[in-house]
Amino acid sequence: MTVSGVDTRGGQHCETTALGVLLRHEGLDLSEAMLFGLGSGLSFVYWDAKYLDFPFLGGRVKPFELTRNLAATLGLDLDVRETTSARKAWANVTEAVDAGRPVGLQLDSYHLEYFTSRVHFGGHVVALYGYDDSTAHLVDTAQQGGAVTTSLTSLAAARAAKGPMTARSRSFTLRVPAGVVDASVRDGRASSVRGDLAPAVRDRLAPAITACARAFLDPPIANLGHRGIAKAAKLVPGWHARSADPARDFAQTALLMERAGTGGALFRNLYRDFLAEAADLLDSPDVRAAHALYAEAAGLWTQVAGLIERGALREAGAALDEVARVEREAMGRLVGLADISSPGGISSPGGISSPGGISSPCGD
């Protein structure tokens, strides 16, 4: 069984890629950057613990928080199902697909046969749009191939995996209620609804931006937000003593930062592009100023990754200090953009659970 008319383009980040697949099938076509921004996806965490081989740097909110934020912001109908039963987990998927609807899955990417980097990461998200007796048809990031396949056996193992950031065979679908897009667009499954989009989204932009800014500027612990970046600036120069194999650890950290967004430029680039779109819709000088600052921040993160890869940790720490200043200034321009209670239901994007030492190779 395969859902017809599914747009299988892969994006830069796994969760926004899956969200794009599900929403385009509903007739709502948003850019990946807009999905990320409306989901208040930007954050930062510096995490270290005795059980970790090396510190973890994260540049976004915890897995699936973006999806929940986006659904609340746009008033989408989000149907989330979790179970410890393998039979029920598969039935949740086939029920959606057989009804003509693609379904999102959270799983451990380690078990997926097409994956290019075999690292355990329980917060990976894909969209499933078809299956047969032995194979699942998925949409993943462009880096992983976009439209891909994996065996049902490997998919079951990925969904049932236990460990940091995993969920209990979580699957989800999204419905776009009337009023967000025109009914004729919904019925036609149009590939682009930009003309109908602006009025429905404009009023939701400022609350989403404000929620993200407030969480970033006032995190509950020093490991998060701008405080986490400042903490990283102090601790990164000491990584030589922290690492048993500096060449390996520094190269891996730099690779993940640049190609997966783990504390690096990928998510800053997405938020920069989101602010560019938001500035056009809101015509706000503060949003335009923050856009310019996040363009600067993204470049600095690329610089930091290069310095870490070369082992120039003191210089990397100094660059991180500048990143903290730039991002703090950017979010300071955005924090008063709207009252956080409008529209209702936006959860704080600042909560990031301990990642347990698992770095994502897929834009997480």
- DSSP-assigned beta bridge partners for residue 107: 124
Residue type present at position 89: A
Give this prediction's pTM: 0.90
Rounded to the nearest 5 degrees, what angle is found at the Cα of 89, between the Cα atoms of 127 and 137? 30
Query: What residue ranges do the domains of the chain occupy?
Result: 14-30+77-175, 40-62+200-364
d(CA 337, CA 324): 21
Residue type present at position 154: S
3-state secondary structure of 230: helix
* Answer CATH for 14-30+77-175 from 3.20.20.70, 1.50.10.20, 3.90.70.30, 2.40.110.10: 3.90.70.30
Alpha helices in 310-340 (DSSP H): 313-334
pLDDT truncated to tens, each residue of the chain (364 aa)?
999 999 999 999 999 999 999 999 998 999 999 999 999 999 999 999 877 789 989 999 999 999 999 999 999 999 999 999 999 999 999 999 999 999 999 999 999 999 987 888 899 999 999 999 999 999 999 999 999 999 999 999 999 999 888 999 999 999 998 766 654 444 444 434 444 555 767 889 999 999 999 999 999 999 999 999 999 999 999 999 999 999 999 999 998 888 887 888 999 999 999 999 999 889 899 999 999 999 999 999 999 999 999 999 999 999 999 999 999 999 999 999 975 334 444 444 444 444 433 345 555 5
